[in-house]
Amino acid sequence: MADVISSFSGRVTSTTEWCEKNYVYSPYIAEFFNTLSNIPCILLALIGLVNSLRQRLERRFSVLHVSNMVLAIWNILYHATLNRVLQQSDETPVIWETLLYIYVLYSPDWHYRRTMPTFLVLYGAIFAIVHWHLQSGICFKVHFLILCLLCIPRMYKYYLYTEDLYAKRVAKLYAVTLVVGTLCWLFDRVLCKDSWLVNPQGHAMWHIFIGFNSYFANTFLMFWRAQQRGWAPRILHYMGILPYVKIRKPKAQ
């Protein structure tokens, strides 16, 4: 949408807007549904963080859940204001978080453990500087896609080596929410029409699906890592619905 108007948060300066008219429901929120749809991601990440801390899992998983929350908060600020600086502040952490997933996925089999985090930190810093100066949405999207494609084969490998049926189900939920969320994103981006009587809010649905996707990814990775460490993980469910990991560490640990 090309609604360049001035409101509580100032003029719209973002280089990208989505299929939602600006400041329709509130003078304080530019894209109402795209803003509020980040709340489920924050709540799911908080649930995952509490479980990770309670189970005393490795710190990397607490960092993952916190990064999911921080990213959702930045996304709220971006969609609420459509400010270019906040857009940059939203896109760069997306790449950082994806690099964090690459570390969690590949570090267990990495022979030179100190080189991997050093490389990823430098890579993230260089991307932030270059992205700030280029301000290219296309480069960001292509870059993000490539990094995601690096994660998927590793997730599939872990799925193949997982025998627990409930854990496999979590991995399938990860795949389904990723595919459906991506279709919602594409629908909103490519097929947006002002003539719609009702806006299907594809980008807001993307936020919701990707929030669940991140939760399922984190849960599956927590299960897999606990299995590697010999902590006898099990998949249980909150209220019979939301999966989470329960471990039993050997007494010696």
Q: Which domains does the chain show, CATH number per domain?
A: 6-246 (1.20.1070)
Please check if 31 is assigned to a binding site. Answer: yes
pLDDT of 182 above 90: yes
Residue percentage of the chain with pLDDT more than 90: 59
- Mean pLDDT, rounded, for 163-181: 96
- Mean pLDDT, rounded, for 192-197: 80
- The neighbouring-strand residues paired with 11 are 6
Q: Which of 59, 70, 169 is CA-nearest to residue 117?
A: 59
Identify the band that residue 4 occupies on the pLDDT scale cut at 50, 70 and 90.
Answer: very low
**What sign does the CA torsion over 233, 168, 177, 150 have?**
positive
Q: Which of the two residues, 94 and 193, has the higher pLDDT score?
A: 94
Buried b / exposed e over 110-138, threshold 16 CB at 10 Å, is eeeeeeeeeebeeebeebbeebeeeeeee
Please check if 207 is assigned to a binding site. Answer: yes
pLDDT of 3 above 60: no
Strand locations in the chain (E): 6-7, 10-11, 234-238, 242-246
Low-confidence winner among 11-15, 66-70, 137-141, 202-206 (lowest mean pLDDT):
11-15
- Mean pLDDT, rounded, for 98-122: 85
pLDDT of 31 above 50: yes
Please check if 79 is assigned to a binding site. Answer: yes
pLDDT of residue 197: 81
Tokens of 15: 């280089």
**182: exposed, middle or buried (Cβ count in 10 Å: 0-12, 13-18, 19+):** middle
Please check if 203 is assigned to a binding site. Answer: yes
Identify the band that residue 183 occupies on the pLDDT scale cut at 50, 70 and 90.
Answer: very high
pLDDT of residue 1: 44
Which single residue is written with the structure tokens 């480069």? 139
Please check if 18 is assigned to a binding site. Answer: yes
